Amino acid sequence: MALDDGERPLEAGVRTDLASTMDYAGYLRLDTLLSAQHPVTDHPDELLFIVQHQTTELWFTLVLHELRGVRADLEADDVRRARKRLARVKHIFRTLTEQWSVLATLTPTEYAEFRGSLGSASGFQSHQYRAVEFILGNKNRRMLDVFDARPDAQGLLHDLLDSPTVYDAFLHHLARRGHDVPGDVLDRDVSRAWVETPALVPVFERIYADTAAHWEAYATCEDLVDLEDAFQLWRFRHLRTVQRTIGFKTGTGGSSGVDFLKRALDLTFFPELYTVRTSIGG
> Residue ranges for the binding site for substrate?
49-53, 111, 115, 252
- What is the rounded CA–CA span in Å between residue 135 and residue 127? 12
* Of 103, 117, 275, 91, residue with least CA distance to 200: 275
Residue list for the binding site: 49-53, 111, 115, 238, 252
List Cβ<8 Å contacts ≥24 apart for 91-94.
91/230, 92/59, 92/62, 92/63, 92/66, 93/63, 93/227, 93/230, 93/231, 93/233, 93/234, 94/230, 94/233
d(CA 274, CA 268): 9
Residue 256: its H or E element:
none
Distant-in-sequence contacts of 62-65, Cβ < 8 A, 24+ apart: 62/92, 63/89, 63/92, 63/93, 63/132, 64/128, 64/131, 64/132, 64/135
Helix 215-246 with 166-176: angle, nearest 10 deg: 170
**Binding site, annotated residues for heme:** 238
The answer to whether residues 276 and 214 touch, using CB atoms and an 8 Å cutoff, is no
**Nearest-angstrom CA–CA distance, 216 and 221:** 9
